[in-house]
Amino acid sequence: MTGAKDGGRALVLGGGGITGIAWEWGILSGLAEAGIGLHEADLVVGTSAGSIVGAQVASGIDPEARYQVQLAGANGEIPARVGRAVMARWAWAALRSRTPERVGARIGRLALIARTVPEAERRAVIESRLPVREWPERPLKITAVDAATGAFTVFDRDAGAGLVDAVGASCAVPCVWPPVTIAGRRYIDGGVRSPANADLAAGHAAVVVLAPSAGGFGPVASVGRQVAALRRAGARVAVITPDRAAREAFGGNSLDPQGRAPAARAGRVQAPSVVDAVKAVWGRA
């Protein structure tokens, strides 16, 4: 990997459910229209919703085409919600833990016993979202957490996991969707460790982070904390988060398929307001 002083550009795509996927495509398509090609990144990092988008960006899929898909009906999705009880369990696990691994292990135990749809049914949904099935040549890192040990896991083309399964693992929201089985181990959402895992972009001179959700709690690192470390190491970083209109478009349930089109439009409308910030970072690498 190139060092920050030597160049290299990284695109980091964070988690945020169905609405997060749609918003990211809206931002990416708007930036592409302005002449900023984030798909030219030397590295793409995807976490949860960002793994869906990242797999396609790294494969060279046209952002405008995928933006248009977000505006169509949300067929094939399974409606879901992260209830207050689930959120309370996550918070309990995080606040009682001193390390991200302990958080992951505690939440993983909850995920392994939760009643969800069958794993095969959920896999079919992930597969329907991906117009690509093979790992791209462009470096792509997809994050997940081992449900048994809490260990942070990064899948790439050399890790021995299929692309659909790696993305499914990264999107396995604990207690909502089933953990994903890869080589005999079960994995849950990479967002359990951090909303975007932006620290994986370390060593790149220019980093753009799209973060539908940016907060952290306890040992779960926020996007801001990880970005601060990147900047201390010399990287130029632009962080894009949803503006007020986008947050309103998301509604109260990021997993509601009906929120997809409004979130995509909100991202597209927001994109012109972030062009200068992104260009200042991306255009000079």
DSSP state of 191: G
Other C-beta atoms closer than 10 Å to the C-beta of 276 total 10
Whether 103 contacts 159, CB under 8 Å: no
In this structure, are residues 200 and 229 in contact, taking their beta carbons and an 8 Å threshold? no
Q: Is 189 a catalytic residue?
A: yes
Dist CA 261 CA 168 (whole Å): 22
State in Å, rounded, how far the first CA of the chain is from the last one: 15
Residue 27: closest CA among 246, 258, 281: 246
Encoded tokens for 150: 């809490």
Please work out, in degrees rounded to the nearest 5, the angle formed at the alpha carbon of residue 155 by the alpha carbons of 154 and 160: 140
Q: Which of 48, 170, 194, 254 is catalytic?
A: 48
Which of 42, 146, 165, 189 is catalytic? The answer is: 189
160: left (phi over 0), alpha (psi -120 to 50) or beta: left
273 included as an active-site residue: no
Q: How many CB atoms lie within 10 A of CB 127?
A: 15
Cβ atoms < 10 Å from Cβ of 215: 11
Catalytic positions, written as ranges:
48, 189
